């Protein structure tokens, strides 16, 4: 909440406009706060400094000099043009949006719900990552997360902005860390659940010879940006049909995640549709998944913690992050013959799955 407050007030941008260093008085002036709030702002900045969001240095002499706050790699990601050109503040706004957070206040009650009673009258659209008929989100709001995006235009906009920001950021990491090689040699690609096409546009820009399409629900495609370049949008249901292509892209990108939003049975159904859409392995056909593989990649504590916390977070829509054996089981049931995992970004992986 402290980070949300700082972002909503525009503190990272205010520090950036000051050349990357600002005193409390500078920040108060730039974000238009009353002087009476200075002591409270100091306490807020103390929390965010200790947690590494900002850095602080004391002007000399320490007894009378003002503290100067600077951006860190984390807070630079919240300022357009300061984090390698990426502004991840839309992601932050989504993660702390009341609609996303409210379900967790009922987590204890959700654990005590009798699943057998739920299954007698399941909520339409439930995914069932852990086998429960009703997700935490459905229990809190009365309908699935996907339906909420249609009911609440403001929430849907926050979601789409977060998806686009995360797609641009992660795709750049994919290309920079060598993951771009997975796109070489393919002539066409369809991004399943690709939202407004940020990831597909990134692939098209990096590999102009690849014809990129996006498959998403009709209500999403209707609001696709007109400046998507060479990306073609297809309205449809990934459970029913995936347009033919040399490769199918299934991303994790927050919350453009596809497979981690669904239980195993639904993942198998989606992957079977993907398998129908691609040519044989000898002809270059494959499914490209960007997702977490629990236990794969860097073993640094911070990355292991990220994977564990993200898996817990996904519980709110009954989604799940998976270990390699769980992925292998899904691929096998969907009729695929082999797969390859390449860790990126510490906690994510690129999975190539072959028919």
pLDDT for 178-197, tens place per residue?
A: 767 888 888 999 999 888 88
| CATH class of the domain comprising 166-354 | alpha beta
Tens of pLDDT, residue by residue over 279-306, are 999 998 999 998 889 988 778 888 889 8
If DSSP codes are grouped into helix, strand and coil, which group holds residue 215? strand
Residue 77: which of 143, 160, 6 has the closest Cα? Answer: 6
DSSP secondary structure, 288-299, as one string? EEEE-EET-S--
Which region among 49-53, 178-182, 228-232 has the lowest average model confidence (pLDDT)? 178-182
Give DSSP secondary structure letters for 144-198: -HHHHHHH-HHHHHHHHHHHHHHHHHHHHHHHHTTGGGGGTT-SEEEEET-TTSH
Angstrom distance (rounded) from CA 51 to CA 81:
23
d(CA 91, CA 160): 10
Q: Which CATH number fits domain 1-81: 3.10.20.30, 3.30.70.260, 3.30.460.10, 1.10.10.10?
A: 1.10.10.10
Q: With cut-offs at 50, 70 and 90, classify the pLDDT of residue 116.
A: low
Q: Where are the domains of the chain?
A: 1-81, 166-354
For 67, 157, 316, the CA distances from 307, given in Å and listed in that order, are 35, 26, 15
The residue length of the chain stands at 355
What's the confidence (pLDDT) of residue 115? 61
Active site residue 260: yes
Q: Nearest-CA neighbor of 334 among 262, 282, 284, 283?
A: 262
């Amino acid at each position: 909440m402290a980070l949300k407050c700082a972002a909503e007030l525009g503190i990272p941008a205010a520090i950036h406009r000051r050349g990357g260093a600002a005193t409390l008085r500078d920040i108060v002036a730039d974000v238009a706060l009353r002087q009476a709030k200075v002591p409270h702002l100091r306490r807020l900045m103390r929390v965010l400094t200790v947690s590494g969001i900002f850095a602080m240095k004391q002007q000399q002499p320490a007894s009378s000099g003002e503290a100067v706050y600077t951006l860190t790699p984390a807070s630079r990601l919240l300022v357009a043009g300061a984090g390698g050109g990426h502004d991840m503040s839309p992601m932050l706004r989504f993660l702390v949006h009341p609609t996303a957070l409210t379900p967790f206040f009922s987590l204890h009650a959700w654990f005590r719900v009798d699943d057998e009673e739920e299954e007698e009258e399941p909520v339409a659209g439930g995914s069932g990552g852990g086998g429960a008929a009703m997700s935490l989100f459905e229990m809190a709001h009365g309908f699935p997360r996907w339906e909420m995006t249609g009911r609440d235009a403001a929430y849907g906009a926050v979601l789409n902005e977060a998806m686009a920001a995360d797609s641009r950021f992660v795709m750049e990491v994919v290309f920079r860390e060598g993951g771009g090689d997975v796109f070489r040699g393919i002539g066409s690609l369809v991004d399943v659940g690709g939202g407004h096409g940020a990831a597909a546009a990134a692939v098209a820009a990096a590999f102009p010879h690849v014809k990129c399409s996006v498959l998403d629900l009709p209500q999403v495609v209707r609001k696709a940006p007109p400046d998507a370049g060479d990306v073609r949008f297809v309205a449809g249901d990934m459970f029913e049909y995936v347009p033919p292509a040399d490769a199918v892209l299934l991303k994790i990108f927050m919350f453009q995640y596809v497979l981690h939003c669904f239980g195993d049975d639904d993942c198998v159904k989606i992957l079977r549709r993907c398998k129908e859409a691609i040519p044989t392995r000898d002809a270059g056909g494959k499914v490209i998944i960007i997702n977490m593989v629990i236990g794969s990649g860097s073993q640094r504590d911070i990355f292991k913690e990220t994977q564990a916390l993200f898996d817990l977070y996904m519980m709110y829509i009954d989604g799940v992050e998976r270990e390699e054996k769980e992925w292998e089981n899904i691929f096998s049931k969907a009729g695929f013959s082999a797969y390859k995992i390449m860790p990126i970004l510490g906690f994510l992986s690129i999975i190539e799955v072959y028919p």
